[in-house]
Structure 1
């Protein structure tokens, strides 16, 4: 069975003097399946919402109302570094080896953890950056000023750039502060979309590369946090009144795609998937498992609840952390194919201009790569020819719909041509007969 792990973070003082709970623990690493357990913990942390990021080797946690980020090593199981920044950090996310941070002054900072390079943008938001999310080529930042900026990641990381950093576009349909953002991992301009939640009691689905509003979802109360499942087919939303909503994007009445109704731009969402008890409080953070069947929610009273999305049963309490749970992040169960591994992070430094890449190689350098084999072999490799032949053999024999339509049109055209030829021959024969009679 594939194991599933997630990381949680708490913020604030302990809720009770329970001696059974370890003191000074701020981050918990949990195993969800096959059986639930707490695998490891990290101390000295107080991370507010949207201030936790997890990689294969490290955990990054921004501190409440401070300009600090604590870095923990998952390999060694201890705190590796204490990193200071010029401004207070309000949110952060991780893309590859780059940590993206949103500040209380409305800036975006990018820290290359393998080189120490730090890139900072001007304060393009007039208020604090409340949430940030990254895709393979873009960064999206939401703010208390109700705007969402879309940034080009390659432009932000460009070396020797003298121009001031500007967002590609601004999404500005919300009327209140942005509380949460989530984006699909697609890289196509036609299928790229993100979902934003706001205190104006709405969630908007955007095509962030074009700036178009695809759908607007209205809720009875303000959304606190949201999450897209791993396949981007459903949105899970937690609201202030304690309700949880699960909205399918491609269900029987799809909100997106060619079968959706373009006229219904605004959709009222009124049927909750579940609701928490008043003594538990609304979910301040949530995360969906990679198979989309399990939902984990964290609450201000310290509870971690497990919801069965498929059967919609009564939630199961996994643990009580004795402090407000503010962050939940699922760890990907699929290993990423990377040539390097970050063992020790390099602290940010804006004064440097020459940087050294520090990482551990994950593969041998003396072995021939596939490119080397293709380059040094006269003609084509035997395995390349065999794979090409196998691909041709697997091609479908049946004609597609367009080919059948084209064949039908050709047959009709030949029928018309043959009729014209017969008519021309008959006319010419009558002309010859008439001329013979007159002569």
Structure 2
């Protein structure tokens, strides 16, 4: 049976909790939404502001209000796993790269990346003038968007930020800057294509739809009041917004800006003539709950997109029909303002598997010792020496019926995958490795040839290394390069000679078996003859590759 859950977190409690309740001091609540609405679990000692909770398949991360710490809760064990301090107060969170990187926005306007499986942290530049109020990661994890109270949205390249050779002060790819007030929320689309969008809400009472990859404004909606939280529908056909009075509004991208009549398949976002013309949604698109719920601080959609859940300052969690066919229904009451809501992926599929191929059991706290490998002031490698990925591989590696004597056909796995899953080491790997080893050990490398030798060659003596004189003339450098190239050619000729010797031996074996087959060879001899032919064919192919 499929089961759907959602997680709700509260800000600082606005009323004294019930001391007789099992949820005393609880700040994060896990509810079953379908098929039975019920409270299932609670994590204690947490108070998180809006946009300050991120949920992965194994953990819950909650940045604490007015503290420079993040609480980490283990969903499998049901307890608090760690308290992680940071140099600045954290004002927003988001997960990226298959939930292995936690992106943190700070009160100082900085973006921090924390690799939870290695402990490596990357401190980005102070790109915003005020606190980072919202973070969003696109589905491909190629872009990170940071919104701030300074009314700007920066678009960052995540691969560039997390690279080991990233510049000391990276710059954003784009800056989206048409708002005139603090950004309150970001909602990014579900597409991995170049046409994906993001919607931003601001205290200037507008919501703007952006093509963040092309740095283009697509549409501006005049909402009348400040939207506090946003959520895009699963097909990116429109967005939901919550307000201070607790109401909910749906803005349809395919509706006419002048009236309530739909325009069929016409997408108003892609019309360049109206992209800079503000649109006022019809008043009928805004729904009142009919109850005194307080401000709508958070919003999320059910997994199938048929229901909208909103969290309010009164502590109520309300369920709305996405189609607007019914009124709001209260489904939970929490002891504080519901600052964050997140619907979890349903469980109970008959063939449920982890798409990521790994599982994070325990996070690795930020480590200050993970720095570039430096020796005597020279950077040997940008990758830290103690850089280790801590996770459990789940599932199983496919183990096809692979023969060491057959070449892979089209559509089969690569040679590396075959070697990884084979019961023994493939014979063609062994033959080519032995031939190369024999070629390089038959004549010891000296002088510049040591620099041309591959990794598998034995290390030469200390006096065999070629000395490089920084003050040598250009002619001397050219002579050294010519000598090195000559030694490389000689090494290749030795490999070729060893391969020719193998080929000659195989030809002699062929003649022997032909003679044996002419004098009444048995069926077993024919099979062995066939195998010898295949070995000769592989040797010829190896010669061609060399």
Smaller-chain TM-score range? 0.7 to 0.9
The whole-number CA distance in structure 2 between the counterparts of 1:260 and 1:133 is 22
**3-state SS, counterpart of residue 29 of structure 1:** strand
Structure 2 residue 224 is the aligned partner of structure 1 residue 214: no
8 A Cα contact 2:31 2:38, kept in partner:
yes
CA drift at 1:255: 9.6
Deviates more, 1:261-270 or 1:232-241: 261-270
Structure 2 vs 1, CA of residues 11 and 255 (structure 1 numbering), >3 Å: closer, same or farther? farther
CA drift at 1:145: 0.3
Relative contact order higher in (CA < 8 Å, ≥ 6 apart): 1
2:333 corresponding residue in structure 1 = 320
The whole-number CA distance in structure 1 between the counterparts of 2:171 and 2:217 is 22
8 A Cα contact 1:254 1:260, kept in partner:
no
1:98 corresponding residue in structure 2 = 101
Out of 187, 196, 218, the residue aligned to residue 192 of structure 1 is 196
Structure 2 residue 235 is the aligned partner of structure 1 residue 264: no
8 A Cα contact 1:301 1:323, kept in partner:
yes
Structure 2 residue 54 is the aligned partner of structure 1 residue 53: yes
CA drift at 1:121: 0.7
**Structure 2: stretches of 5+ with no match in the other structure:** 256-261, 348-352, 372-383, 414-546
CA drift at 1:222: 0.7
The whole-number CA distance in structure 1 between the counterparts of 2:291 and 2:268 is 41
2:183 corresponding residue in structure 1 = 178
CA drift at 1:336: 4.5
The whole-number CA distance in structure 1 between the counterparts of 2:17 and 2:288 is 28
2:137 corresponding residue in structure 1 = 134
8 A Cα contact 2:70 2:84, kept in partner:
yes
**3-state SS, counterpart of residue 125 of structure 2:** coil
**3-state SS, counterpart of residue 210 of structure 1:** coil
Post-superposition Cα deviations, 1:335-357, rounded to whole Å, max 9, x if no partner, equal 64112110000001233223211
**3-state SS, counterpart of residue 159 of structure 2:** helix
Structure 2 residue 88 is the aligned partner of structure 1 residue 87: yes
- Which of the two has greater helix per residue? 2
The whole-number CA distance in structure 2 between the counterparts of 1:46 and 1:381 is 53
Structure 2 residue 340 is the aligned partner of structure 1 residue 339: no
**3-state SS, counterpart of residue 65 of structure 1:** coil
How do 1:374-389 residues align onto structure 2 when only pairs under 5 Å count?
Answer: 377-380=407-410
The two structures have a TM-score, normalised by structure 2, of: 0.66
Structure 2 residue 259 is the aligned partner of structure 1 residue 247: no
1:3 corresponding residue in structure 2 = 3
| Number of residue equivalences | 380
- Which of the two has greater strand per residue? 1
The whole-number CA distance in structure 2 between the counterparts of 1:73 and 1:236 is 31
CA drift at 1:368: 3.1
**3-state SS, counterpart of residue 322 of structure 1:** coil
The whole-number CA distance in structure 2 between the counterparts of 1:381 and 1:349 is 43
Structure 2 residue 391 is the aligned partner of structure 1 residue 359: yes
**3-state SS, counterpart of residue 271 of structure 1:** helix
**3-state SS, counterpart of residue 245 of structure 1:** strand
Out of 205, 224, 230, the residue aligned to residue 209 of structure 2 is 205
Post-superposition Cα deviations, 1:236-271, rounded to whole Å, max 9, x if no partner, equal 001223321112224533797489654333210233
The whole-number CA distance in structure 1 between the counterparts of 2:220 and 2:264 is 13
The whole-number CA distance in structure 2 between the counterparts of 1:239 and 1:144 is 18
How do 1:29-178 residues align onto structure 2 when only pairs under 5 Å count?
Answer: 29-95=30-96, 96=98, 97-135=100-138, 136-178=141-183
The whole-number CA distance in structure 2 between the counterparts of 1:275 and 1:328 is 20
1:305 corresponding residue in structure 2 = 318
The whole-number CA distance in structure 2 between the counterparts of 1:198 and 1:259 is 19
Post-superposition Cα deviations, 1:269-308, rounded to whole Å, max 9, x if no partner, equal 2334421346311211010112111111111111011111
The whole-number CA distance in structure 2 between the counterparts of 1:376 and 1:312 is 64
The whole-number CA distance in structure 2 between the counterparts of 1:305 and 1:173 is 33
Out of 396, 399, 403, the residue aligned to residue 368 of structure 1 is 399
The whole-number CA distance in structure 1 between the counterparts of 2:318 and 2:268 is 36
8 A Cα contact 1:235 1:248, kept in partner:
yes
Structure 2 residue 299 is the aligned partner of structure 1 residue 286: yes
Structure 2 vs 1, CA of residues 183 and 351 (structure 1 numbering), >3 Å: closer, same or farther? same
Structure 2 vs 1, CA of residues 260 and 27 (structure 1 numbering), >3 Å: closer, same or farther? same
Deviates more, 1:159-168 or 1:56-65: 159-168
Structure 2 vs 1, CA of residues 192 and 124 (structure 1 numbering), >3 Å: closer, same or farther? same
